Amino acid sequence: MKLLNIALDGPAAAGKSTIAKLLAAKLSMIYVDTGAMYRAITYKYLQQNKPEDFEHLIKTTDLSLTYDEVKGQRVILDNQDVTDYLRENDVTNNVSYVASKEAVRTFAVKKQQELSAKKGIVMDGRDIGTVVLPDADLKVYMIASVEERAIRRQKDNEERGIDSKVDQLKQEIADRDHYDMNRKISPLKKADDAITVDTTGKSIENVIEEILTLVHSIA
Ligand code: DC
């Protein structure tokens, strides 16, 4: 099979990272979670008590992704592995704001494009098919109902030992989607040539199968 780049976009908690990870493993490709980059910058923003000068924040930021065979993608921020802090509520509730800033996006998109230059990447995010990889070999736009996404996030949180309530998660997810879809710079939207996959009520295996069929149709 030729080397491909696959772009996986969609709203919060639609199952993108679960699917992208499994898909990458099945296809011997590398999974790049771009949300983790925005989360790492948000983590730093919070550590520094929310400075409004994002240009300066970025200028003083060293961010890289490494890949561990067992643990998968790790995010190294200013020489520290911050991966385990990136799903904390405070980061989640501030990340859409930080990700809307031009300096932040320019920085992250450049890194993402460098990472995908060699191909063989499954990349998930919000603007991968529209901005980061407009020439991706396959673009999938993954959606699911807000109810189902909140329930999935709740299970996720339980496994990570994070306290949360479904109703509150529903509200947070809807707010984040609204913010991500309505920001000025590269908002979340389906690329014209992306294929929508609705994961509501489908098992992970079904979704993987559906996307693998798409991959095989182009490979
Ligand atoms: O996929 P995630 O929930 O980890 O993403 C966290 C936030 O980062 C999301 O609410 C918007 C932002 N994001 C973005 O703007 N562009 C991306 N390519 C990925 C994430």
pLDDT digits (tens, 9 = 90+) for 88-135: 889 999 999 999 999 999 999 999 999 999 889 999 999 999 999 999
What CATH number is attached to the domain comprising 188? Answer: 3.40.50.300
**Binding region for ATP:** 10-18
42-86 tens-digit pLDDT: 999 999 999 999 999 999 999 999 998 888 899 999 999 999 999
CB of 12 shorter than 6 A to ligand 1: yes
135-146 tens-digit pLDDT: 999 999 999 999
Q: Choose the residue to mutate in 86, 133, 180, 185 for probing ligand 1, maximizing ligand atoms within 8 Å of C-beta.
A: 180
Query: Which numbered atom of ligand 1 lies nearest the CA of 128?
Result: 18
- Say what the pLDDT of residue 69 is: 81
**What's the average model confidence in pLDDT over 191-209?**
96
CB of 34 shorter than 6 A to ligand 1: yes
What does the DSSP assignment read for 65-119?
A: EEEETTTEEEEEETTEE-GGGTTSHHHHHHHHHHHTSHHHHHHHHHHHHHHTTT-
> Going by CA atoms, what residue is nearest to atom 14 of ligand 1?
126
- Say what the pLDDT of residue 213 is: 97
- Say what the pLDDT of residue 2 is: 76
- Say what the pLDDT of residue 73 is: 93
Q: Is 183 inside a domain boundary?
A: yes
72: alpha, beta or left? (left if phi > 0; alpha if psi -120 to 50) = left
Q: Is 219 inside a domain boundary?
A: no
Whole-number Å distance, alpha carbon 126 to ligand 1 midpoint, is 6
CB of 130 shorter than 6 A to ligand 1: no
Contact assessment for residue 143 and residue 199, using Cβ atoms and an 8 Å cutoff: yes
> Going by CA atoms, what residue is nearest to atom 13 of ligand 1?
35
- Say what the pLDDT of residue 156 is: 86
Element housing 182 (H / E):
helix 166-182
**Poorest-pLDDT segment among 46-55, 65-74, 183-192, 207-216:** 65-74
Q: Is 82 inside a domain boundary?
A: yes
CA atoms of 206 and 212, how far apart (whole Å): 10
Number of domains present in the structure of the chain: 1
Output b/e per residue, 92-103; b: 16+ Cβ within 10 A: bebbbebbbbeb
Contact assessment for residue 53 and residue 176, using Cβ atoms and an 8 Å cutoff: no
CA atoms of 116 and 186, how far apart (whole Å): 19
Q: Is 218 inside a domain boundary?
A: no
For residue 129, the 8-state DSSP code is I
Q: Is 215 inside a domain boundary?
A: no
- Say what the pLDDT of residue 68 is: 86
The model carries a pTM of 0.94
Q: Using 50, 70 and 90 to split pLDDT, how confident is the model at 150?
A: very high
Could you identify the residue written with the tokens 């993108």?
16
- Say what the pLDDT of residue 71 is: 86
> Could you give the 3-state DSSP secondary structure of residue 124?
strand
3-20 tens-digit pLDDT: 899 999 999 989 999 999
Show Cβ contacts of residue 53 under 8 Å, excluding neighbours closer than 6 positions. Answer: none
**What's the average model confidence in pLDDT over 162-177?**
92
Q: Is 210 inside a domain boundary?
A: no
Whole-number Å distance, alpha carbon 37 to ligand 1 midpoint, is 8
Res. 1: pLDDT tops 80 = no
Q: Is 54 inside a domain boundary?
A: yes
Nearest to 11 by CA among 94, 90, 126, 88: 126
Q: By residue range, what is the domain housing residue 63?
A: 5-201
Q: Choose the residue to mutate in 17, 21, 34 for probing ligand 1, maximizing ligand atoms within 8 Å of C-beta.
A: 34
